[in-house]
Structure 1
Amino acid sequence: MQYVLIIHEVEDYLAWKTVFDRAADIRKKAGERSYQVLNYENEPNKIVHFSAWTSISDARAFFESPELVEIRRKAGVKLPEFIYLDRLEAGIL
């Protein structure tokens, strides 16, 4: 499984979350399999989106598509940072 970690600031979390939720079907069709949304402890509009994908190439194609660039703009996303990750190991303690 491959993963994507996205860190970005949004203008308004609730407005961003509405757009994020509406994009669930296109995210799933693109290859996203699961996700977590987190925020910084003292910065409610600094969002971390961690997601599992079918492949890094599927994730890159999705996140770099003109459609997603426009969706992010409409959602008030500022300077997203994308980190593409391969799982080396996992466990439960």
Structure 2
Amino acid sequence: MPTMFVRHEVSDYAAWRKAYDAFAPVQKANGVTAEAVYQAIDNPNDVTVTHEFATVEAAHAFGKLEELRAAMRTGGVLGAPTVWLTNKA
């Protein structure tokens, strides 16, 4: 099962989390089967998110959504995120 990791800094975690939670229906409609959010211990605005997908193609399609980019802007993401895909070994 492919998992997408996304790490980025946000301007305000509480505001970002509100935007992230509001985006859940779009995630589900676009193939996200499970998700999780992590904060760095020493910086709560350093966020890593995981999204699981049934296929690599679904993960790539999700990553290209304009709605995703808009939600990240609305949530206060600073700079470009670091994104990588993995398969559970």
RMSD: 1.1
Structure 1: any 5+ residue segments left out of the alignment? 89-93
| Structure 1 length-normalised TM | 0.87
The aligned residue for residue 70 of structure 2 is 70
Counterparts of 1:8-47 in structure 2, within 5 Å, are 8-47=8-47
SS at structure 1 position matched to 2:58: helix
User: Which aligned segments of 4 or more residues in structure 1 are displaced greater than 2 angstroms?
Assistant: none
SS at structure 2 position matched to 1:32: coil
The aligned residue for residue 83 of structure 1 is 84
Quote the offset at 1:57 in angstroms: 1.6
Residues 42-73 of structure 1: per-residue CA shift (max 9 Å, x gap): 10000010121122221221122222111111
Deviates more, 1:55-64 or 1:79-88: 55-64
Please tell me whether Structure 1 or Structure 2 has the larger radius of gyration of its CA atoms: 1
| Structure 2 length-normalised TM | 0.91
- Percent identity of equivalent pairs: 27
Cα distance in 1 between the residues matched to 2:76 and 2:60: 20
Cα distance in 2 between the residues matched to 1:29 and 1:17: 19
- Output the amino acid matched with 2:55: S
